[in-house]
Amino acid sequence: MTLKIRSDAPSAPFGTQIQLDGSTLIRLWAPDKKQVDIKLWLKDGSCHIQTMTAEKHGWHSLSSSLAGPDDRYVFIIDDILVPDPASRYQPEGAHGASQIINPEAYHWKCQGWQGRPWAQAVIYELHIGTFTEQGTFLAAVAHLDHLQQLGITCIELMPLADFSGKHNWGYDGVLMFAPDSCYGTPDELKALIDACHKRGIMILIDLVYNHFGPDGNYLSLYARNFFSRRHHTPWGNAINFDGKQSSIVRQFFIQNALYWLNEFRFDGIRFDAVQCIHDKGEPHFLEELATTLRQHANSSHVHLILENELNSSHYLNAKTAYNAQWNDDIHHVMHTLITGETFSYYSDHQTLPCQRLARSLAQGFDYQGEVSHFFDDHIRGESTQGLPLNAFVSFLQNHDRIGNRPYGERITQLASQAGIEAMVAIMLLSPQIPLLFMGEEWGAETPFLFFTDFPENLSTSVEQGRMSEFAKLPGFTTPEARKNIPNPCNPESFKASKLQWSERASPKSQYWLSFYRQLLQLRQSHLQALIQHANVDNSCFSVDERYIQVEWKIPNETWILTANLSENSLDRPPIFAGKSDSECIYHLSRHKPQAPAHLNSDASFAPWDVMLSVRR
């Protein structure tokens, strides 16, 4: 990688740096090797092999007046050609040569951008490779106006780090500083980010710091202490955040996060599955990471989001400095309510689902220290007391919840339109931060399947592993039932997952687009004070069978969400009695969104009705 580091930022010795005199410094941390050679391919067609200088603490370096931007190089270790683990670009893929990149080459057009407050976030998660037919950074730019008009204020890109093969979800990345060349060049990624900022849209990147992918990672060849011998993850040995030489490993990832924020001007980061980042030391890596990013990020608005199935609320307080966490709890209970599915992780939410949804809306997590049967009867979660409600990201769909189903079905194939509309209205009219998955806004019919492009032997293992997991699901317990499940290693699984933008023209898709757009306009025009000020301590809820009411109290106002989550009508829910002094802001009535000016708090509650009102 080629880093541009602020003068007050921590040292960044990884990869390549273009020096003031025009030379290029290349460094590699290879503590297990006494000698490392480097092979350089220059633009003039010449090739050079040199031995790097061995330094203290396992570092090897070379300062070259010959090498510069666009030249390529590999390290030679035990006669094996090895890419730079801090490579900025891999034009030939994860096993190919690394390319020196000039970080100053791109000329930013949106110079004054300083981001947006977190409370304004409406997130749209997308996968670059399947968002468009071309699957590139530049192709995505053409659809940004659609997202802006929809009411999206923040895009979240699934992981970009260079991976093995031609397509991948991104969670098998092996070169953490290199955006995968399948999507385009680093400068083309910057052009996408620039185009987002021009439209007032923030953009986040999903980073995976809990493991490396199974193909294309050479670190164990020359830096065995990059990995832990005492901690393990579902993908093998954990990364070493607390053992011998872990300080260098920690800096590698901290500098990686700073690189994406400062070099590419991302507005924030989503950190994948942090429960698999194992660290018994003090401070915990996640705390050091957030503190350092807050101190050294160039932007005044930097948003840090966690995925953490443990519901560790303490990471979301002001001291630890993470903005929010993806809230699986609210997804699981919404999904259970409208589909009736109770297998796998949904089993923890099958009892009293209305109460669980109301609690999630008022307090963030459903599990805050209760026993989880799905998680082997372990205590799951911590109290959310004192947290703002915008510390929780809500979603009805995301890449995992669609793609980890055997056939990658979207929610529109699993639940009634009335039930989906009710959950979407609840999600978008609550103070939690909402997240949509690409195509959701028009009811996309394309699946989102799991897909990879590994070598044959590894592909077989991946396919067998997926089938073994699906064998635990109802309806898939026999080989005969599983025989038609798409193979994740078949290129057709990737192709089938590409969005079909032509679907938007259908009457059904236009209806969904109008539905989402109206709710997002209402969120923007009426709910900003609620989103900014609502917190767990000033929220409450009540439940009457399949009817819920949630109250969020903020200065001078109380916002009230009431919903009938059943197939039966009710003239007026008992829990709504006495609220006639409230002003109705929105009423989803009998499956149709209604203009609030024509409604009042005496409206009856048909099946799946949702009402939002405010008392001042």
Q: Which residues are catalytic?
A: 272, 307
Q: In degrees rounded to 5, what are phi and psi of residue 327? A: -105, 90
Tell me how far apart the alpha carbons of residues 562 and 560 are, in angstroms, rounded to a whole number.
6
Is there a contact between 586 and 425 (Cβ–Cβ < 8 Å)? yes
* CB contact set of 500 (below 8 Å; sequence gap of 6+): 444, 445, 446
Tell me how far apart the alpha carbons of residues 402 and 398 are, in angstroms, rounded to a whole number.
6
Tell me how far apart the alpha carbons of residues 365 and 539 are, in angstroms, rounded to a whole number.
13
Q: How many CB atoms are located within 10 Å of the residue 120 CB?
A: 19
Helices 417-428 and 507-526 cross at an angle (nearest 10°) of 20
Is there a contact between 151 and 429 (Cβ–Cβ < 8 Å)? no
Torsion of the alpha carbons at 64, 66, 70 and 71, rounded to the nearest 10:
-80
Is there a contact between 399 and 158 (Cβ–Cβ < 8 Å)? yes
Torsion of the alpha carbons at 526, 125, 336 and 522, rounded to the nearest 10:
10
DSSP one-letter code for 389: G
Instruction: Give one word for 484, left, alpha or beta, with left for phi > 0 and alpha for psi -120 to 50.
Output: alpha
**Element at 74 (helix H, strand E):** strand 72-77
SS (H, E, C) 118-169: HHHCCEEEECHHHHCCCCCHHHHHCCHHHHHHHCCCEEEECCCEECCCCCCC
SS (H, E, C) 479-547: HHHHCCCCCCCCHHHHHHCCCCHHHHHCHHHHHHHHHHHHHHHHHHHHCHHHHHHCEHHHEEEEEECCE
Please give the structure tokens belonging to residue 70: 């666009």
Tell me how far apart the alpha carbons of residues 415 and 497 are, in angstroms, rounded to a whole number.
20
Tell me how far apart the alpha carbons of residues 160 and 172 are, in angstroms, rounded to a whole number.
10
The two beta strands, 175-179 and 161-162, are antiparallel
Nearest to 100 by CA among 160, 40, 46: 40
Q: What is the arrangement of strands in the sheet containing 53-54, beginning at the earlier edge strand?
A: 15-18, 24-29, 59-64, 53-54
Nearest to 232 by CA among 240, 221, 224: 240
User: What burial class does residue 501 get, using C-beta atoms within 10 Å of its C-beta: 0-12 exposed, 13-18 middle, 19+ buried?
Assistant: middle
- Maximum CA pair distance of the chain? 83
Q: Does the bond joining 283 to the residue before it have cis omega, within 30 degrees of 0?
A: yes
Half-sphere exposure of 182 (CA within 13 A, CB side): 25
Torsion of the alpha carbons at 320, 322, 328 and 331, rounded to the nearest 10:
140
Is there a contact between 154 and 121 (Cβ–Cβ < 8 Å)? yes
